[in-house]
Amino acid sequence: MKQFLAFVIKEFHHILRDRRTMLILIGMPIVQIILFGFAISTEVKNVKTAVLAPSVDSDTRRIIDHLDASEYFEVRYRVYSMKEVEELFLRNRIDLAVIFPSDMNRMRFDSESIQLIADATDPNQAITRSSYAQGVIASAQSVIRQSGGLKLSTKLLYNPQMKSAYNFVPGVMGLILMLICAMMTSISIVREKETGTMEVLLVSPMNPLFVILSKAVPYFVLSVVNLTTILLLSVFVLHVPVAGNLGALLGVSLLFIFVSLALGLLISCIVRTQVAAMLLSGMVMMIPTIVLSGIIFPIESMPAILQAISCLIPARWYVDIVRKLMIEGVPFGYVWQETCILLAMGIALTVLTARKFNNRLD
């Protein structure tokens, strides 16, 4: 019994002396409960909304004010043509558009109605946003002159069939590429450290940094194979068409693979064991990727601080690009900003990895 207690006390000492282990044991549960508590929300908040009102009479103004005053919608744009509405959707500036008739009085004679246009690349969110908008507009009926009731119609863009595959395919692409590139790359290099073979590789005539990069190449190839498989399954099995430029989609995907590889290499330079690499790449990286990238939960419904943190998640920008290029079919010019952000992340991670690796050699 004394020997058992001695081993227990000894293990406690090892854990308490290891700051990384303490951070994982104590810090990670706190971070996860905060993330899941605030980010996981099915509520609709701060929906980016545009309003098209040919004649802004008093009734129309009251309805617009009701929308803007609610916590669910944020009227960002007042437009004057359907072309402007389409442009805002293509640039991902809005998630919902409210189209008013040219004359609100005609609604009494069933000749016109208020139309709601929602971005249905995420079908569940499109339905929820439209339902919330219908509720807010209906509540405005008590303060306007319409006696016959407000008439509403809904139009869903990009995914009128409401197929869920249109929503989860871009997210699955981001998760799989991140998993293969970052997690497996970090583990494979750390395995060399644990077995002691890394030192043998580093004393070879080749530059040590190239030795590290050479171990990442197989995962790059595997990721390209995975990307091809996902696209083929999406088109021929799930019937999700590539509406935009296929070459642009492949180019951005290769860039995201590069960013993920750079992240995995950085993790491999920080940790010393496979377990630590798995925990860091799996728990610390994958969970924020799922929660904060917009794959499952809308970013605009999260608190401002989590929205700011989500800007540091590479998958957030990649999923946005894939949805635009693959589902919405927009030209590459509409996603150049997100692409530049991914490129900057890749360069920054590569520089940081090189410096960390050189410091480790010194």
Q: Which two tokens stand for residue 129?
A: 């946003």
Distance of alpha carbon 331 from the chain centroid: 20
Helix (H/G/I), strand (E/B), else coil: 102: coil
Q: Which class in CATH covers the domain with range 47-157?
A: alpha beta
Q: Which residues contact 207 (CB under 8 A, 6 or more apart)?
A: none
pLDDT of residue 28: 56
C-alpha 353/C-alpha 362 separation (Å) is 14
Question: 161-213 pLDDT, tens per residue?
Answer: 666 667 777 877 887 788 777 777 777 777 767 776 666 656 666 666 666 66
Domain ranges of the chain: 47-157, 164-361
Q: What is the DSSP string of 126-168?
A: HHHHHHHHHHHHHHGGGGSS-SS---EEEEEES-TT--THHHH
- Round the CA-based radius of gyration of the chain to a whole number and report it: 26
CA nearest neighbour of 109 among 145, 148, 138, 60: 148
pLDDT score, position 147: 46
- For 109, the 3-state DSSP assignment is helix
The residues facing 156 across adjacent strands are 118
Full-model pTM? 0.70
CA distances from 340 to 12, 333, 351 (A): 47, 11, 17
User: Phi and psi dihedrals of 75, rounded to 5?
Assistant: -75, 100
Beta partners for residue 77, in sequence order: 50
- Which pLDDT value is given to residue 164? 65
Residue type, 294: G
Walking along the chain (362 residues) 10 residues at a time, the average pLDDT comes out as 58 63 59 55 78 82 86 89 89 89 62 81 82 82 57 72 70 79 75 68 63 73 82 81 87 92 84 77 74 79 84 90 87 90 92 72 50
| pLDDT score at 251 | 93
Q: To which H or E segment does residue 282 belong?
A: none
